Structure 1
């Protein structure tokens, strides 16, 4: 199950977390979350939707997007795809930029809006092609490519930051962490908007706007995504009935569960269970 704040463990030998994933034809949904690591998503095949800053971007084959530290984002796979993921620890980025990252500048890299250099494209294609290779030489080759990638970012993709705005963002993220931690612990219970707004001393109207502005989705949709993700786990790893899974996931009625699941996956829970087993 996903949480708002994700703790990423890097590969000790590479100093970063480098991996790929392939989504099937059904929609692979990752709810809004953030992490301290800088993340690059490179589309090897297919497409990937990324939502951040209340905007949605569609990555196609060959596209890449960088997500800066602590930026709330979500992803979903409209169809089968193959994605390379590079997650660079905050400490690594601070070291290679001599502490300039996230104090003086962040990075801007989004090929959907601005073509990237041929150097970065070659680096990403090489990493994608060598992702499964193991051994000392392969590991050193990947490490060199990752340092070359860092150099390209530092040289050509800096974006100056407003210190005051950054401090305000951190304050908001701390508030959101508490709110979503509560949702994570209580998503199986009744949770009307008015209840959670009152819990955190907001009016329902203000909380609704605050949540959508900072999470990029409504409270209702986020809560549904968390419940659907838990239901996915039960459908794949348990023998429970659809009714029991719907109730355990926080849905009052199985019809509501079916409608929500169909919306996010374009298939019924039963079909999802057959497809993932």
Structure 2
């Protein structure tokens, strides 16, 4: 069975309008599992109630009230909720530019960009941290729902506060890290998948991937078959078609521009691959939403 990692276009999902802060939040009661997916926004989630497990870039951990997770764009994740004690999550998604709008946030931004690499993607907050985070979540949600003057300024400041709580919860770990990564350290299997998700819009063949991460073509073939049960090139096409599908339904971009924006080397290839995967032409697909 093929494991399809879903792509979620967070901008469209949040129905953002021009001039709005690129931010979305909600409280989610998770009765059914959230399958493997990724998106182009940062995501901060916090468990209010319930128990379950979360898998971030191939690493599974238990989550409970007080568990906090932070993901960079295209980090791959899924959640399994305990049916007897379903999870209630506060989740907010926002553009990466939000944490770099002010030069005073540079240190925090550098730390957060290490998430999933030098910095763990999750933690269980202590009692005082959890109390503070609970209040922040409610304040953020109430402000997001309001039409108050200075709404987006308050939201940004509260998001930064929440990210500081997350970073400080790892303070002991951060202080033990060396100042630089070992450039020759071999990437794990899920780091390779992550690399593909970060670069699928660029020209990325299997041979080019092998050169960039210093592994054999046979290794890549076995890796994608083992983890995703799909060939490398087919997976690249799947990611690109999903992006193109989102753009076709949510923008007025020309179909030619969408093919380029989705990483296809030619319009002919785009049309052929799109029809093979969806069963209809890009034009017919766009008309399904009209």
The TM-score, its normalising length taken from structure 2, stands at 0.49
Deviations 1:185-222 (A, max 9, x none): xxxxxxxxxxx989977555x2266449xxxx812299
Relative to structure 1, is the Cα distance of residues 178 and 83 closer, same or farther in structure 2, using a 3 angstrom cutoff? closer
- Structure 2 partner of 1:15: 21
1:220 match: 229
Segments of structure 1 that go 5 or more residues without pairing to the other structure are 182-195, 231-247, 251-277
Name the residue aligned to 1:188: none
Contact 2:43/2:91 (<8 A) preserved: yes
1:1-277 matches, cutoff 5 A: 3=6, 8-9=10-11, 15-20=21-26, 22=28, 25-31=31-37, 33=38, 35=40, 37-67=41-71, 69-70=72-73, 72-78=75-81, 79=83, 80-94=86-100, 95=102, 96-98=104-106, 101-102=109-110, 106=114, 110-112=122-124, 117=129, 118-128=131-141, 130=142, 133-136=145-148, 139=151, 141-153=154-166, 157=170, 159=174, 163-164=180-181, 172=192, 176-177=196-197, 203-204=217-218, 206-207=219-220, 210-211=223-224, 218-220=227-229
- Deviation sequence 1:110-162 (CA, Å, 0-9, x none): 3438667243343124335x277321159365444224324445666453576
Measured after TM superposition, the shift of residue 20 of structure 1 is: 1.9
Q: d(CA) in 1 for partners of 2:180 and 2:122?
A: 23
Q: Distance in 2 between matches of 1:172 and 1:28?
A: 23
Deviating beyond 6 angstroms after TM superposition, the runs of 4 or more aligned structure 1 residues are 113-116, 166-169, 178-181, 196-201, 221-224
- 1:40 shift after superposition: 0.9
For structure 2, the residue ranges without an aligned partner over 5 or more in a row are: 211-215, 243-276, 280-290
- TM-score norm. by structure 1 comes to 0.51
Q: Please give the secondary structure, in 2, of the residue aligned with 1:102.
A: helix
> Aligned-pair distance for 1:41?
0.9
Aligned equivalents of 2:65, 2:230: Cα separation in 1:
28
What is the CA–CA distance in structure 2 between the aligned matches of 1:48 and 1:167, rounded to whole Å? Answer: 36
Between the two proteins, the alignment pairs up a number of residues equal to 208
